Structure formats: C-alpha cells, structure tokens
Structure 1
Amino acid sequence: MKNPHDIIKSPIITERSSEMMADKKYVFEVDLRSNKTEIKQAIEQIFKVKVANVNTLRVPAKPKRYGRYSGYTSEWKKAIVTLSADSKELEFFESV
C-alpha cells in the first residue's frame, strides 16, 4: 500500500476553497497516478474523518514564456473531498 502522505501532496487554499469549507468540502493537490479510492483512504487515515465523496480533476499544463525562453507549467491533479455530515472539520484548516 502507498504511503498516504505520498498521495496527498498539499492543501489548496484559495478564496473559493475557503468558501467551500463551510460545506465541509476541502481541496487538495494529489499525486497524478492516484485514484478516488486511494485519495479517500489517505484522507481518512491522515485526518481521522469519514469521507462522503471525492471529485478529481486534472489541471492541464499551460504554455509560459520567460523572455525568449518558452516552456510549459507542470500538469497536476486536484481533489475536492466532501466530508460526511457527522465527521469533524479538519484541524489543518482551523487557522484560516
């Protein structure tokens, strides 16, 4: 089994994701190769909560330029995790 900290890379804290926290929805950057089941198990292990739903999306690479040099940003995967109604809120986000 994979290490849960390898699957969940970091939380994504934006204005939109902060508004979603009121509905017990949290946004994370996850490993590109992970699936919804692995993400659900990793969140439940790390934070000791019950996950109701996981939505994932791949953020495509965008072309960028720096002077005469051009390249692409990295492609990454985002997961929107919905907690069940009876689970507690994540302590990680309480200071926000």
Structure 2
Amino acid sequence: MSILKKPIVTEKVSALNEGGRYGFVVDKNANKVEIKKAVEKAYGVTVESVNTMVYAGKSKTKYTKSKVVTGRTSSFKKAIVKVAEGDIIDFYGGV
C-alpha cells in the first residue's frame, strides 16, 4: 500500500509551490506522521508541517438518450506539505 497516491498539479496548488508548499492525494487511512515520512523518503526533503483534508464523494447524474445514469465520485484525502526553506520538490524532472 502506497501512502502517496499522486501529486496535485492545479493552478491553486502550483501557486503554493513558490512558498514551499506541495499538495498530494494520499491514502485515506494515512496519518500526518506517515505522510511526513513518505514525502521525506520519496523526495529527499525535510518536511516542516503537514495539513490534511478529507473530501467526500459527490453525486453525479448524466442524462442520456435511453436513461438517466446516476453515480458517485470517489472520496479522497488531500495533504498539503510544507518543506524546509531551500528545499524543492520537482514534479516535472522526468518530463
């Protein structure tokens, strides 16, 4: 089981990157200590703080020609990680 699922690359989080804050989608059962250790191991940086938030899934409805299709998006947990001054995480290094 991987704690870090994927980095969040949106305009809002990219603006935070300049201040040393990075966003990740993480496992729902992971706590702040586990997230801190996973980021430090994966990217070789020093983590100062971790803020987490859990997003609930939303109901979605599609109206098609034959019927109405309803469903839910999955819920997820997001972590905003603040790294030490001078440390950076490069998501685009391999691109």
Q: How does the TM-score come out when normalised to structure 1?
A: 0.87
What secondary structure, in the 3-state scheme, does the structure 1 residue paired with 2:77 have?
strand
Within 2, Cα distance between the matches of 1:51 and 1:94? 20
Q: Which residue of 2 is the match for residue 65 of structure 1? A: 61
Residue 90 of structure 1: CA displacement?
0.9
Q: Which residue of 2 is the match for residue 78 of structure 1? A: 78
Q: Aligned letter for 2:44?
A: K
Matches for 1:46-61 after TM superposition, within 5 Å:
46-61=42-57
| Structure 1 spans left out of the alignment, 5+ residues | none
| Structure 2 spans left out of the alignment, 5+ residues | none
* Number of equivalenced pairs: 91
Q: Sort the Cα spacing of 1:81 and 1:93 in 2 relative to 1 into closer, same or farther, 3 A.
A: farther
Q: Which residue of 1 is the match for residue 88 of structure 2? A: 89
Q: Which residue of 2 is the match for residue 21 of structure 1? A: 17
Q: Computing the radius of gyration over CA atoms, which structure comes out larger, 1 or 2?
A: 2
Q: How does the TM-score come out when normalised to structure 2?
A: 0.88
Residue 30 of structure 1: CA displacement?
0.3
What secondary structure, in the 3-state scheme, does the structure 2 residue paired with 1:91 have?
coil
CA offset digits 1:1-48 (Å, max 9, x no partner):
xx6xx0000001011111000100000000011000000000000001
